[in-house]
């Protein structure tokens, strides 16, 4: 047995062997990071599109429900009846049921319009061209909007400022 073993001395790093391994690792981390970022952005866009579609489906259902009420009670959408709105008629008289129904119907209409306005980011052109004629609907029910049944400030206080401004724009008030 030979006792005089001399250990081999390392004089330097052989970069030709280590360099490619380090470069491969760094590239792998960078590519993985980029792919992770891209995938997350794609997933986020898909989630946003799905939510937007679900919101639109909900708005469509609400509109259908309002239209079903209007079919059951056609006077709610006639100019002749809407122009007779006076909140005292909803409190006393032979037609108080009709006017109370009209008040609730107007709440449904303006709640729907508020949600639609938010969906369209308060862009009146988007609402008018892609969904419904908001101006016509607001103008038809403006007497109720301006003088609601329970509180004169009900509509101003219940809806956000952007929606109130949009309604006022439809009514020619700026």
The pLDDT tens digits for 2-27 are: 666 656 655 677 777 787 888 888 88
**Dihedral of the alpha carbons of 17, 18, 20, 22, in degrees to the nearest 10:** 170
What is the torsional sign of CA 165, 132, 139, 111?
A: negative
C-alpha–C-alpha distance, residues 122 and 163, integer Å: 7
Using the 8-state DSSP alphabet, how is residue 75 labeled?
G
Using the 8-state DSSP alphabet, how is residue 9 labeled?
P
How much of the chain exceeds pLDDT 90, in percent? 61
Q: Which run of H or of E encompasses 67?
A: helix 15-72
**Token pair for 166:** 């949009």
Query: Which segment of 88-92, 98-102, 163-167 scores lowest on mean pLDDT?
Result: 88-92
Asked if 134 and 171 count as a contact pair (C-beta separation under 8 A), the reply is: no
**Dihedral of the alpha carbons of 131, 153, 106, 86, in degrees to the nearest 10:** -140
Q: At what angle do helices 15-72 and 96-119 cross, to 10 degrees?
A: 160
Query: Which segment of 17-31, 65-79, 108-122 scores lowest on mean pLDDT?
Result: 17-31
**Token pair for 110:** 């303006």
In terms of C-beta density within 10 A (0-12 exposed, 13-18 middle, 19 or more buried), how is residue 167 classed? Answer: buried
Q: What is the predicted pLDDT for the residue at 6?
A: 59
């Amino acid at each position: 047995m030979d006792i005089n073993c001399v250990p081999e001395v390392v004089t330097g790093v052989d970069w030709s062997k280590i360099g490619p391994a380090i470069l491969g690792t760094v590239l792998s981390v960078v590519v993985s990071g980029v792919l992770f970022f891209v995938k997350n952005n794609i997933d986020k866009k898909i989630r946003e599109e799905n939510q937007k579609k679900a919101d639109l489906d909900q708005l469509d259902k609400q509109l259908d429900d309002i239209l079903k009420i209007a079919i059951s009670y056609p006077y709610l959408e006639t100019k002749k009846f809407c122009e007779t709105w006076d909140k005292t008629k909803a409190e006393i008289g032979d037609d108080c049921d009709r006017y109370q129904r009209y008040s609730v119907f107007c709440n449904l209409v303006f709640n729907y319009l508020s949600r639609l306005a938010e969906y369209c980011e308060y862009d009146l052109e988007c609402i008018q061209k892609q969904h419904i004629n908001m101006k016509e609907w607001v103008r038809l029910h403006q007497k109720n909007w301006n003088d609601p049944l329970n509180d004169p400030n009900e509509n101003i206080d219940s809806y956000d400022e952007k929606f109130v401004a949009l309604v006022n724009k439809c009514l020619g008030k700026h």
